[in-house]
Amino acid sequence: MEKQNSFIDFYSESEISIMGLKRLLEPLGIFGIIQNDFNSGMLAGFMGGTPDTIRFKIRKSDIEKAKPILEEYINLKVD
């Protein structure tokens, strides 16, 4: 069974898009981790991931609180 404090993938998009979402979530006390496998691989000396796909991870316990913000954010980007 996963712990409620474990981090899970929440959103995957460009780094700029994730930074915008992160800026909306942090005032609500929802903090996340930006995971960029491509840059991590480059720093370690091997390739991994793609340069345009970055993952934003948040705590499992914050999912329900963060979902409405994500939906609103995606709708703003589409309009």
Pair 42, 17: CB distance under 8 Å: no
Q: How far apart are CA 34 and CA 23, in angstroms?
A: 12
Residue 45 has pLDDT above 90, yes or no: no
Q: Does residue 34 sit in helix, strand or coil?
A: strand
> What Å distances lie between residue 20 and 1, 11, 25, 45, 76, CA to CA?
32, 12, 9, 29, 11
* Average confidence (pLDDT) over 17-23: 94
pTM, full prediction: 0.75
End-to-end CA distance of the chain: 39
